[in-house]
């Protein structure tokens, strides 16, 4: 998730671009850059690692004149955060410069073809591949920029929002999008145009905007009406809308808090997380007609998981005698779910350790162990220290991080990014479901290679995992119901969260969410452990959230609910849609779509995030920045 801003008109572009970048910095902040065309038609690109303030410093002695420009703040996906990988990217001849948000999935193949044709690359990014492809088409086919962009975009697979400058056509910005947002602001009398990943860099100047649709390309030339065509050159009528939102609302995508926005982003985040990793292929088989004769060809689709980390480090990972997961907080809860998946489908014993405990005892770690470090920020001091300790003891280190190029990502031997975009709310939400998804992909990929997961399970889990984003959308429709429910429980002083099997870590995560943002004491417990102590707490003032999907543990959890009801407890039950038994005894019921047992946490966590969020809002708490907490804990 990166930030894009652009300007073309009569004003100096640089101050508008910098201001816009600052407003978009919440989308990514590992590097930033700007491209400007000055009066002599020079195309100047300046970029640097770091924040927008670093870019300003970097540009302080440069030629920043020009009334046409594009700028970018980056959240790395391909290639570590560095000045070279920062956007804009020049084409080979430096006639073109591009900025991009999204992922070009087939960039490796395109890059290989272009290298074979003699082109050279400066960065590791997929974005540079796109600008090189556009230039290659422009030069070899002798077509104008717009046609080259259309031909190039017809070749690429993936997501993009791009803006492009060509110094030979200096009075023009070309922008296009597919699956990544892009908004165009129309200045007075079309004399000037603004561009943004969202409207936040635009609303100061105009309230007239056009939201580009997928595969649409906009051509902005000052003094001319906005031209919109699609990638097949069909002319389209731009739908100009008037926006009525303030800045804060826009950065938060219209949501009142980043936390709620991030909860709602989860279906999209999981798609990004699985993109290029969950693949389908058509398998052709010939049917036998009477047991002997060959019949007609038949085809069916098979799903599979591809993780480059497994391909590159096969030996170390497949030969692991033991896996040790180290993490903190929410990431540790994801690790508990990962343990169950890895043990079930890979038959490797897994220990899950609090990084802060692991680092201070002298744990038994050998060179046959694989240590999986899970961290959203990639900067958690305890997790980093745990990695260093395990490394010294010879273990192979696998990272599961969100922040690209973070300290933990760099300290590991290999790993998988969760690709859910920047998480701003202190309470981790989309990172948790991203981490669980990657752990599931890892368990499937390793299990398949080791032959410890059956073909049936492998196919079924991969297919159902792919369907999770759609099911998450169903769960998110419960938002209003959960908001109503929350009002009833705002004044509770304690909460208990119970679950078994895969639902136990969900209970822990639900309790943590409530604690950290509403300041209500909450405990997560394995449901069966209740009778060994916590049952003494239960009375009519104690709300008990029970995660009770229809899985192998169902009957057992049902008994636990009955035990609570017998003591006057108030039960909020999360059940599988269509459950008639628990619905009759629980006080409140939240229905979840059916999925496989190992994937239930991906759905069940969402209502608990929403419950914590709405309770905290009802109590008037600062949801995005709860007291005493920091987004990344870089101290011991």
Catalytic residues: 2, 631
Q: How far is the CB of 334 from ligand M6R (least distance, A)?
A: 9
Q: How far is the CB of 131 from ligand M6R (least distance, A)?
A: 33
Using CB under 6 A, pick the residue from 28, 33, 66, 329 that binds ligand M6R. 329
Q: How far is the CB of 377 from ligand M6R (least distance, A)?
A: 3
Using CB under 6 A, pick the residue from 133, 209, 323, 427 that binds ligand M6R. 427
Q: How far is the CB of 428 from ligand M6R (least distance, A)?
A: 4
Nearer to ligand M6R (CB atom), residue 97 or residue 328: 328
Using CB under 6 A, pick the residue from 200, 383, 416, 462 that binds ligand M6R. 383
Considering only residues 560 to 579 of the shown chain, the ones binding ligand M6R according to CB under 6 A are none
Length of the chain: 636
Q: Which helix (H) or strand (E) holds 465?
A: helix 455-476
HSE-CB at 227 with a 13 A cutoff on CA atoms is 15
Using CB under 6 A, pick the residue from 84, 589, 618, 633 that binds ligand M6R. 633
Nearer to ligand M6R (CB atom), residue 10 or residue 521: 521
Extended strands (E) in 75-125: 89-90, 96-104
Q: Which residue is nearest to ligand M6R (CB)?
A: 329
Q: How far apart are CA 77 and CA 529, in angstroms?
A: 43
Environment class of 162 (CB within 10 Å of its CB; exposed 0-12, middle 13-18, buried 19+): buried
Q: Under the criterion CB under 6 A, does residue 615 sit at the interface with ligand M6R?
A: no
Q: How far is the CB of 549 from ligand M6R (least distance, A)?
A: 23
Nearest residue to 388 via CA among 418, 425, 358: 358
Piece of 134-142, 296-304, 326-334, 602-610 that binds ligand M6R (CB under 6 A) = 326-334
Nearer to ligand M6R (CB atom), residue 66 or residue 626: 626
Q: How far apart are CA 476 and CA 141, in angstroms?
A: 48
Q: Under the criterion CB under 6 A, does residue 377 sit at the interface with ligand M6R?
A: yes
Query: SS3 helix, strand, coil % of the chain, rounded to 5?
Result: 40, 25, 35
Piece of 38-46, 172-180, 423-431, 558-566 that binds ligand M6R (CB under 6 A) = 423-431
Give me the helices (H) in 126-253, please: 126-141, 145-155, 247-251
Angle at which helices 126-141 and 145-155 pack, to 10 degrees? 130
Piece of 100-108, 243-251, 372-380, 602-610 that binds ligand M6R (CB under 6 A) = 372-380
Nearer to ligand M6R (CB atom), residue 20 or residue 378: 378
Q: Under the criterion CB under 6 A, does residue 48 sit at the interface with ligand M6R?
A: no
Compute φ and ψ for 383, nearest 5 degrees. Answer: -70, -40
Residues 545/572, Cβ–Cβ less than 8 Å: yes
Nearer to ligand M6R (CB atom), residue 53 or residue 381: 381
Number of residues that bind ligand M6R (CB under 6 A): 17
Q: Under the criterion CB under 6 A, does residue 331 sit at the interface with ligand M6R?
A: yes
Nearer to ligand M6R (CB atom), residue 91 or residue 377: 377
Q: How far apart are CA 604 and CA 333, in angstroms?
A: 14
Using CB under 6 A, pick the residue from 216, 375, 412, 486 that binds ligand M6R. 375
Give me the helices (H) in 25-164, please: 52-59, 107-116, 126-141, 145-155
Nearer to ligand M6R (CB atom), residue 432 or residue 458: 432
Residues 413/396, Cβ–Cβ less than 8 Å: yes
Q: Under the criterion CB under 6 A, does residue 316 sit at the interface with ligand M6R?
A: no
Nearest residue to 465 via CA among 336, 259, 331, 273: 273
Q: How far is the CB of 265 from ligand M6R (least distance, A)?
A: 16
Task: Kindly write out the interface string for residues 509-528 of this chain, putting x where it contacts ligand M6R by CB under 6 A and - elsewhere.
Answer: ---x---x------------
Nearest residue to 558 via CA among 533, 582, 590: 582
Residues 324/349, Cβ–Cβ less than 8 Å: no
Compute φ and ψ for 519, nearest 5 degrees. Answer: 65, 20
Using CB under 6 A, pick the residue from 330, 416, 464, 560 that binds ligand M6R. 330
Using CB under 6 A, pick the residue from 132, 428, 560, 576 that binds ligand M6R. 428
Nearer to ligand M6R (CB atom), residue 329 or residue 569: 329
Q: How far is the CB of 373 from ligand M6R (least distance, A)?
A: 9
Strand partners, 546: 498, 573
Task: Kindly write out the interface string for residues 166-195 of this chain, putting x where it contacts ligand M6R by CB under 6 A and - elsewhere.
Answer: ------------------------------
Using CB under 6 A, pick the residue from 386, 426, 530, 553 that binds ligand M6R. 426
Q: Token digits for 282?
A: 């058509």
The C-alpha R_g of the chain, in whole angstroms, comes to 26
Nearer to ligand M6R (CB atom), residue 31 or residue 375: 375
Piece of 109-117, 204-212, 409-417, 626-634 that binds ligand M6R (CB under 6 A) = 626-634
Strand order in the sheet with 158-166: 89-90, 96-104, 158-166, 173-178, 216-220, 227-230, 235-236
Q: Token digits for 252?
A: 């938060």
Residues 4/99, Cβ–Cβ less than 8 Å: yes
Q: How far apart are CA 318 and CA 104, in angstroms?
A: 30
Using CB under 6 A, pick the residue from 85, 123, 376, 518 that binds ligand M6R. 376
Residues 71/16, Cβ–Cβ less than 8 Å: no
The residues of the shown chain that bind ligand M6R, judged by CB under 6 A, are: 328-331, 375-377, 380, 383, 426-428, 512, 516, 629, 632-633
């Amino acid at each position: 998730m990166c930030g894009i801003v652009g300007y073309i008109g009569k004003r100096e572009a640089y101050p508008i671009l910098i201001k816009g970048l600052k407003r978009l910095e919440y989308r990514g902040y590992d590097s930033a850059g700007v491209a400007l065309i000055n009066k002599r038609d020079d195309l100047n690109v300046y970029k640097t690692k770091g924040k927008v303030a670093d870019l300003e410093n970097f540009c302080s002695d440069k030629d920043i004149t020009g009334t046409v420009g594009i700028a970018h703040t980056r959240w790395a996906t391909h290639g570590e955060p560095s000045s070279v990988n920062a956007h804009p990217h020049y084409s080979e001849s430096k006639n073109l410069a591009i900025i991009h948000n999204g992922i070009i999935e087939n960039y490796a193949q395109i890059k290989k073809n272009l290298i074979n044709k003699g082109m050279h690359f400066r960065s590791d990014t997929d974005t540079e591949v796109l600008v090189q492809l556009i230039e290659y088409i422009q030069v070899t086919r002798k077509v104008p920029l717009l046609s080259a962009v259309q031909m190039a975009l017809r070749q690429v697979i993936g997501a993009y929002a791009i803006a492009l400058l060509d110094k030979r056509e200096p009075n023009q910005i070309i922008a296009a999008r597919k699956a990544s947002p892009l908004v165009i602001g129309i200045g007075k009398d079309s004399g000037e145009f603004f561009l943004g990943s969202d409207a936040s860099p635009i609303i100061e100047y105009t309230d007239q905007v056009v939201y580009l649709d997928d595969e649409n390309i906009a051509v902005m030339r000052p003094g001319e009406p906005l031209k919109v065509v699609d990638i097949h050159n069909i002319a389209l009528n731009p739908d100009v809308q008037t926006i009525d939102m303030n800045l804060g609302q826009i950065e938060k995508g219209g949501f009142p808090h980043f936390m709620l926005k991030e909860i709602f982003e989860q279906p999209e985040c999981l798609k990004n997380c699985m993109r290029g990793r969950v693949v389908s292929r058509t398998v052709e088989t010939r049917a036998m007609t009477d047991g002997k004769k060959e019949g007609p060809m038949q085809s069916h689709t098979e799903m599979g998981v591809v993780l480059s980390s497994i391909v590159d480090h096969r030996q170390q990972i497949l030969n692991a005698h033991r896996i040790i997961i180290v993490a903190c907080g929410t990431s540790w809860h994801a690790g508990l779910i990962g343990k169950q998946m890895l043990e079930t489908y890979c038959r490797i014993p897994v220990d899950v350790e609090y990084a802060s405990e692991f680092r201070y005892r002298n744990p038994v770690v050998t060179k046959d162990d694989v240590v999986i470090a899970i961290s959203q920020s990639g900067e958690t001091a305890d997790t980093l220290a745990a990695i260093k300790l395990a490394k010294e003891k010879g273990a192979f280190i696998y990272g599961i991080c969100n922040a690209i190029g973070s300290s933990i990502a760099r300290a590991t031997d290999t790993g998988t990014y969760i690709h859910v975009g920047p998480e701003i709310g202190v309470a981790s939400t989309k990172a948790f479901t991203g981490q669980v998804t990657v752990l599931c992909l890892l368990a499937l990929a390793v299990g398949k290679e080791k032959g410890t997961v059956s073909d049936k399970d492998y196919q079924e889990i991969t297919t159902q995992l792919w369907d999770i984003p759609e099911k998450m959308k169903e769960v998110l429709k419960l938002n209003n119901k959960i908001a109503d429910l929350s009002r009833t429980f705002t004044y509770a002083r304690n909460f208990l969260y119970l679950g078994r099997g895969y639902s136990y870590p969900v209970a822990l995560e639900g309790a943590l969410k409530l604690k950290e943002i509403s300041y209500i004491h909450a405990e997560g417990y394995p449901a069966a452990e209740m009778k060994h102590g916590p049952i003494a707490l239960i009375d009519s003032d104690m709300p008990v959230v029970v995660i009770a999907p229809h899985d192998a543990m169902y009957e057992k959890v049902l008994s636990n609910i009955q035990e609570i009801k017998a003591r006057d407890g108030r039960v909020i039950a999360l059940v599988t849609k269509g459950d008639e038994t628990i619905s009759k005894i629980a006080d409140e019921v939240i229905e979840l779509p059916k999925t496989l047992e190992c994937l239930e946490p991906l759905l069940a966590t969402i209502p608990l995030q929403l419950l914590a969020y709405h309770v905290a809002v009802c109590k008037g708490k600062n949801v995005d920045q709860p007291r005493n907490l920091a987004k990344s804990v870089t101290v011991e």
